[in-house]
Amino acid sequence: MDNKPQSQDKLGTMPIGRLLVVMSVPMMISMLVQALYNTVDSMFVAHLSEDALTAVSLAFPFQNAMIAVGVGSGVGVNALVSRHLGRGDRETAERTANIQVFLSACYTVIFALLGIFLSRWFFELQTDVKVIVDYGTQYLTICCGLSLGMFYGQNFEKLLVATGNSVLSMVCQGVGAVVNILLDPVLIFGLGPAPKLGVAGAAYATVIGQTIAALLALFFNLRSNKATRFHFRKMKPDWAIIRQIYSIGVPSMLTVCLNSVMSFGMNKILLGFSTTAAAVNGVWQRLQYFGFMPVFGLNNGTIAIYSYNYGARNYDRVKKALRLALLAGGAVTAAIALVYELFPQVMLGLFDASDTMMAIGVTALRICSVSMVFGGLCLVLSSSFQSLGYSGFTLFSNACRQMFLPLPAAWLLSKTGVLGNVWFAVLIAESVTCLISLCISRFVMRKFRERVAAGPPSQTAPGQS
């Protein structure tokens, strides 16, 4: 088809270096801003008490699971829409985008029920400190019960990226984050006419920011997305398309869920030393999350590039995009890691750290920050696997770095009785997984090159491969 929208056609024609900047830099900026949602919540909540900070930290695994579903499904839709547009199949691309609207509604209902009925049980699994359980239950129930904005925000923002409108996605996420940041002190501490809501105020600020971002993303899709349009009749479930969405998106879902498992497991191990150690882990999770956000943004941009050119069978463009993405991802995470390494006291001071928390946290940050470069490279490589049809490798890579390696290592190191040794588990997991992922990448790219060299399987049905 020759009538492709210009914003989407650039995925196959614009020089890769420029395209990577156009597609990924806005997403990197927007993901950095989005990372402020949880980070700023924790910073303000820390001024209430260390128990309040610990509660929000212990909520992170559950929130991560919720984010996992939204992000994973969005990644699947992003890749499929780009792939079908690359093949010239606009009808299937449009149906895929519409089915995601139905899926987001399902997610909203499911997590609202989970939040209402399982929040307290989730915290009681981790600690018997009543004030922490009460704070955490209050915070998590609100975030889950009002999750509509989070799920639809992921839906509409990823669709903008898939159709070449990454700048608009950046605007949506940026506006939502700014609203959250502005509302946090107002609702937590009761500034002006607002009541003092404490931990609940942090949760309300988050969901209000997410909802505004989702509404803005819907508006931009209706106004600027010319490649796919919304139709109620096309939102009817198509199980073949849903299976394709999950075949690509499930590794991303499980990746974030595995991070939840690791966070939960690390918290259990660290609570054996002290609740302050768990609070430090919560701070590190926020800082790591913030540090990896530019790479997640980079991946959101490159997934569309990989998928479009995979559909168009253009090996050279995929190879060049991957090389540039590795350079960019490594450089960004190295710069952020250097800041954490040199200024751990400043980072911890943002969370109103006590003397005890500072003593534990400085050691933790200096050890864990070294792992970020390896982790950034792993994330870039794993996104290329799923875009090129090897989602299983994405899952395996992320399972290694987030569960198979760090938790056993942390448990063994905890047996030394020295808290400082436990933090080395993060570095061990990231560095070993990076080596594994590099080996997998060579295999995946060789298979794609062989597929392209073999030629299309059919000359009568362009795009069907």
82 neighbors 160 (Cβ within 8 angstroms): no
**Domain limits at 379?**
10-453
HEC per residue, the chain: CCCCCHHHHHHHHCCHHHHHHHHHHHHHHHHHHHHHHHHHHHHHHCCCCHHHHHHHHHHHHHHHHHHHHHHHHHHHHHHHHHHHHHHCCHHHHHHHHHHHHHHHHHHHHHHHHHHHHHHHHHHHCCCCCHHHHHHHHHHHHHHHHCCHHHHHHHHHHHHHHHCCCHHHHHHHHHHHHHHHHHHHHHHHHCCCCCCCCCHHHHHHHHHHHHHHHHHHHHHHHHHHCCCCCCCHHHHCCCHHHHHHHHHHHHHHHHHHHHHHHHHHHHHHHHHCCCHHHHHHHHHHHHHHHHHHHHHHHHHHHHHHHHHHHHHCCCHHHHHHHHHHHHHHHHHHHHHHHHHHHHCHHHHHHCCCCCHHHHHHHHHHHHHHHHHHHHHHHHHHHHHHHHHCCCHHHHHHHHHHHHHHCHHHHHHHHHCCCCHHHHCHHHHHHHHHHHHHHHHHHHHHHHHHHHHHHHCCCCCCCCCCC
Q: Which of 168, 67, 76 is nearest to 111 (CA)?
A: 67
419 domain residue, yes or no: yes
Residue 167 domain flag: yes
Residue 465 lies in a domain: no
Whole-number Å distance between alpha carbons of 124 and 292: 30
The answer to whether 173 and 34 have CB atoms below 8 angstroms apart is yes
Specify the pLDDT at position 411. Answer: 96
Task: List Cα–Cα distances, 127 to 38, 172, 232, 290, in angstroms.
Answer: 21, 37, 46, 26
Contact criterion met (CB below 8 Å) for 351 and 282: no
What pLDDT, on the 0 to 100 scale, is given for residue 9? 61
Q: Tens of pLDDT along the chain (465 residues)?
A: 444 555 556 777 788 888 888 878 877 776 677 676 667 778 899 999 999 999 998 998 888 888 888 888 887 887 888 788 877 888 888 898 899 899 999 999 999 999 999 999 999 999 999 999 999 999 999 999 999 999 999 889 888 877 777 788 888 988 998 899 899 999 999 998 999 999 999 999 999 999 999 999 999 999 988 777 888 888 888 888 999 888 888 877 776 778 778 888 999 999 999 999 999 998 998 899 889 988 988 887 888 888 888 888 899 999 999 999 999 999 999 999 999 999 999 999 999 899 999 999 999 999 999 999 999 999 999 989 978 888 789 889 988 998 899 999 999 999 999 999 999 999 999 999 999 999 999 999 999 999 888 876 544 333 333
Q: Quote the pLDDT of residue 71.
A: 80
Has residue 22 been placed in a domain?
yes
459 within a domain of the structure (yes/no) = no
Q: Would you state the pLDDT for residue 104?
A: 93
5 lies in some domain = no
C-alpha to C-alpha distances, 230 to 156, 215, 246, nearest whole angstrom: 11, 15, 21
Query: Which pLDDT value is given to residue 234?
Result: 83
361 and 348 Cβ atoms separated by less than 8 Å = yes
Number of Cβ within a 10 Å radius of residue 85 = 31
Q: What are phi and psi of 230, to 5 degrees?
A: -90, 135
Token pair for residue 430?
């990231």
Whether 354 maps to a domain, the answer reads: yes
285, 263 Cβ separation under 8 angstroms: yes
Q: Note the pLDDT tens digit of each residue in 414-441.
A: 999 999 999 999 999 999 999 999 999 9
CA 42 from chain center: how many Å?
A: 18
Q: What is the Cα–Cα distance from 153 to 173, expressed in whole angstroms?
A: 8
Domain count, the chain: 1
Domain membership of residue 168 (yes or no) is yes
